[in-house]
Amino acid sequence: MVYYRQEHRLNRKEAAMLRKLSTINGYSIQAQDGELGHVQDCYFDDEKWTIRYIVVKTGFWLFGREVLISPHSVERIDFDAKCLCVAHTQEQVKGSPDIDTHRPISRRKESEFHIYYNFPAYWGGVGLWGQDMYPRGTETITDAQNDETQKRKADDEDVHLRSIAEISGYRVRAVDNYAGSVTDFIFDETDWALRYVVLKGSGELQSGRYLISPKWIDQMIWSQATVNVNVSLPSLQSAPTYDASVPVTRELEEALFQHFTTHPYWEEVQES
Name which residue leads in pLDDT, 110 or 4. 110
What is the pTM for the complete model shown? 0.88
* Whole-angstrom distance, CA of residue 242 vs CA of residue 59: 36
Residue 142: what pLDDT? Answer: 52
Of the pLDDT bands very low, low, confident and very high (cuts 50, 70, 90), residue 15 is low
Q: What is the DSSP letter of 272?
A: -
For strands 178-188 and 171-173, give the pairing: antiparallel
Instruction: Output the 3-class SS for 210-249.
Output: EEECHHHEEEEEHHHCEEEECCCHHHHHCCCCCCCCCCCC
| Strand ranges inside 5-108, DSSP E | 18-20, 28-31, 34-45, 50-58, 66-69, 74-78, 83-86
Q: pLDDT over 90 for what percent of the chain?
A: 69
> Are 237 and 207 within 8 A, CB to CB?
no
Residue 156: what pLDDT? Answer: 52
Amino acid found at 78: D
What kind of architecture, by CATH, is found in domain 167-267? Answer: Alpha-Beta Complex (3.90)
* Whole-angstrom distance, CA of residue 200 vs CA of residue 172: 9
Domain ranges of the chain: 167-267
* Whole-angstrom distance, CA of residue 52 vs CA of residue 84: 15
Phi then psi dihedrals of residue 10, to 5 deg:
-85, 145
Q: Comparing 107-111, 144-148, 225-229, 246-250, which segment has the lowest mean pLDDT?
A: 144-148
Name 30's bridge partners.
Answer: 35, 85
Task: List C-alpha distances in Å: 10 to 24, 146, 190, 207, 257.
Answer: 22, 27, 7, 35, 20
Residue 151 CA, distance from chain mean position: 25
Residue 254 backbone class (left: φ over 0; alpha: ψ -120 to 50; beta: rest): alpha
pLDDT score of 88 more than 80: yes
Phi then psi dihedrals of residue 35, to 5 deg:
-85, 135
* Whole-angstrom distance, CA of residue 114 vs CA of residue 95: 13
Looking at the chain, list the stretches that DSSP marks H as alpha helix, in order from N- to C-terminal side: 90-94, 107-117, 143-155, 164-167, 233-237, 250-259
Q: What is the pLDDT of residues 200-251, one digit of tens each?
A: 999 888 889 999 999 999 999 999 999 999 999 999 999 999 999 999 999 9
